[in-house]
Structures are given as C-alpha cells and as structure tokens.
Amino acid sequence: MVRHPVLLSALVVLTLLPGAVRAADDEEDRVVFNKKASEWMQILRTDKEPRRRRVALVALDAAGPKTRRVFAAVGTALREDSDEMIRTAAAQWLGLMAVRAQMEKDRIPIDEAIESLIFALKNDKAPGVREMAAGALSRIGLEARSAIPTLAAALKESHPGLRGAAAECMGRMEYLARLERESLIKGFLPELIKALRESKGKEYARARGYVIYAIGRLGGTDGKPAITTLVEVLNEPDLSADLRKSIAETLGLFGRESAEGAPALARLLQDPDIQVKRAAATALDQLEAEARPVIPALIKAMQDRDKYVKCSAIHALGQIGGQLGPNTALVIQGMRACLKDSLADVRMAAIQGLGMLGPGVLGSSLDAVKGELKVALQDGDMKVRETAEATLKALDKKP
C-alpha cells in the first residue's frame, strides 16, 4: 500500500512547537496554532492555496476527534478537493482519526468518516487516493463492514496497489469477524478467486499476496472453492518464494479440505527456500490422513537438514498411522533413525511419532522400539526423557 507521510510528519513538527495546541472555552472547538478548529475547517474548505489546506489538515489532527463536525469537514475535503495530495491526506486523516475516536471513553460517531472513505474508494479518479481510502477502512475494522461490497468491486481494478489494499482490508475484516463467529467476505469469494487468477506478473505480486491472505481467513469449509485455483497458482513457473510460502500456509489452514494440494505441497519439500519448505511441511501435517498420497515425500523429508521440516514430517506420518500401508516399515525405520539425531527437538518428535503409530502399527518392531525408548530415558535433555517416559507408558497400555 502507498504510504503518504506528509500529514504525519507535519503533525510531528506542529505538536512540538511551544503553545501549538491549547484548550478553548469550548472543548469541541480547540485553539491550534492561534486559530480555532472551526477556522481551520473554513481554511480547508475555501483557501485556494493547497499548502494552507494541508496545514489545516494537520491542525485539525491536533485538535482531535472531539472537534465539532470535524469528520464532516475532512470528509468533504476527501470528496471535493481538487488537489490529489489533499484528498490522499484527507483519507489518511480519516482513518487515523477514526481509530482515535474509537478509543475515546465516550463514544464518538465515525459514520461520516466511513461514508466519505467508501465514496472515495468507489468514485475518486486517482488510484492512490482510493488505495489510501481502503487502507483507512482497514484501520477502522469491523465498524466499516459496509465497505465490503465496494472493496470487492475494487479487486477488479488494474492498479496493483489498489487491488492489494482492497484485498488486505477484506482479509483483516474477515479475521476480526471470525473472532465474533461471523463471516463478511464469504459471498465475495468468486471475486477473490478471479483476482487471484488475474494478478499475474511481478507488479501484482504484493496484491496477489493480500488476495491469498484474504482467502485464507475464510477457513477450510468456506474457502474450499478456492483450493483448485490456489494449487494452479502454486504450480505456475517463476512464482516468488513469498507467494509459494503464502499459498502453502493457506492450504494448511484449510486442513483436510486441501487434499488435492498434497502433491504440490510435497514438491515444495524440495524448495530452495527454507521458509517455503517449512510452510509446506507444516501444511502437509495439517492435512492429517489426507497426506497419504505423498507418504514417500514425507519419508524423505525425515532426513532433511532442517529440524522444522524433519519434525513436521515425522508428525504428519504419525497422524497417518494405520493408513501407511506398504510404507509402514520405512516410516518406522526413519523414525527410529531420528531417535539418534543430534537435535533434541528431532529426537522428541521421533518419540512422539512412534507413540502416535502405536502398538498396532509398530507390530513386530514394538519390542525394539520400547528398548530404544528406555535408552532415551537417559537422554541429556529433560523434555526428551519426559516424552520417552510418557510414550512408554502409552505403549504398555493394554487395548
């Protein structure tokens, strides 16, 4: 998203000046820089000099959200000012001031701010202004939920920054809505899928990342229709490491619903980027038994140099358990080898993995495994010792 530091940097200078802000008799019309807030609003509305209108915005920021009609005044500037920089600063101002209003003990209405931001997002001719409006709505959060349809429409825009800002805002609002057991963007999944397909090229990489983020907030059941497209994008040549990682993480969030993505995730276990490999291993673990088709890749991953990849692969295979089929012996062999790993985390993961397999899967290897776990009771790491003890007890329990 585009950042415009004009308003913020000017505000810092202003507030550091001695006597810049002082209370007036009327708290809703404070004096800033020797002028009342109402006078600054008049300057913002009528002064022909853009520089003075920018100063007015800064002064009104210092006056604060309790200022009478301040959201209406700045909202009008956002809708009507002829200067793109003023409109951009006004959008930024409304987002920041709305958050301040939300934090006030006595509720300050911000409807006018939200309405003006939605208007700008929909109608402004400058993509940068619309992008800033989307960012401001994102700061406001769920109180700006009425912006969702306009944000979804902005996903069709060709401007990468605007498309990305709209998707980011949708994703953040959905995250907050899910905390309250709601969903705001489920009905707009087709628009997100279309944006994911069409956001190709380096210039759209960031926007695509935000689209993936938004889809991921929906979860496995509501987001399932997007899985095929996520896998298609994951298989694109020259896809950036950041996007490969984001898609792997999203497929993992969808859990067992992402079964069709298992082969693509398995290929990422050989990715040159370590963060991508880790995300893929974690996602395959989250697929639980649906990772069955890629058992050989997970067996190989138990020998990876990275401990996180190793541990995730061990846990994933442990979850598959009785469905390992002809790969059972190789899995047990691999886990037993990891009992001797130099890293305590890997040794502990191997113990847990063997415990997850249980006596039924371990079969004829059970006694040998118990013997190795007894050796682990003398391990130099306390957590390894405790895990070995708990696993031995579980394996000794009669069915």
Q: Three-state DSSP class for 21?
A: strand
Instruction: Report the alpha-carbon angle 379-383-388, nearest 5.
Output: 65
In total, the chain counts a number of residues equal to 399
| Res 185: pLDDT | 95
Q: Return d(Cα 245, Cα 15) in angstroms, integer.
A: 43
Burial 356-376 (b: 16+ CB within 10 A, else e): bbbbebbeebbeebbebbeeb
pLDDT band per the 50, 70, 90 thresholds, residue 47: very high
Q: Are 213 and 245 in contact (CB under 8 A)?
A: no
Q: Dig out the tokens for 211 from the structure.
A: 């689209």
Q: What percent of the chain has pLDDT over 90?
A: 89
The pLDDT tens digits for 111-147 are: 999 999 999 999 999 999 999 999 999 999 999 999 9
Is this prediction's pTM over 0.85? yes
The pLDDT tens digits for 10-22 are: 544 444 444 555 5
The pLDDT tens digits for 231-249 are: 999 999 999 999 999 999 9
Q: Return d(Cα 114, Cα 132) in angstroms, integer.
A: 13
The pLDDT tens digits for 280-309 are: 999 999 999 999 999 999 999 999 999 999
The pLDDT tens digits for 337-394 are: 999 999 999 999 999 999 999 999 999 999 999 999 999 999 999 999 999 999 999 9
User: Mean per-residue pLDDT for 144-154?
Assistant: 98
| Res 26: pLDDT | 63
209: closest CA among 159, 150, 160, 252? 160
Return mean pLDDT, the chain: 93
For residue 183, pLDDT over 60 is answered with: yes
Strands (E), the chain: 21-22, 31-32, 35-36
Q: Return d(Cα 348, Cα 331) in angstroms, integer.
A: 16
User: Mean per-residue pLDDT for 90-117?
Assistant: 95
Q: Which domains does the chain have, with CATH numbers?
A: 328-399 (1.25.10)
For residue 95, pLDDT over 90 is answered with: yes
Phi-psi region of 33 (alpha: psi -120 to 50; beta: other; left: phi over 0): left
User: Mean per-residue pLDDT for 173-182?
Assistant: 94
Q: Are 155 and 192 in contact (CB under 8 A)?
A: yes
Residue 31: beta bridge partners? 22, 36
| Res 13: pLDDT | 46
Tell the residue number behind the tokens 């920089």, with chain if given. Answer: 85
The pLDDT tens digits for 203-230 are: 999 999 999 999 999 987 889 999 999 9
For residue 266, pLDDT over 60 is answered with: yes
pLDDT band per the 50, 70, 90 thresholds, residue 7: low
Q: Return d(Cα 87, Cα 130) in angstroms, integer.
A: 9
CA-to-CA separations, 265 to 40, 65, 257, 323, in angstroms, rounded: 57, 49, 14, 20
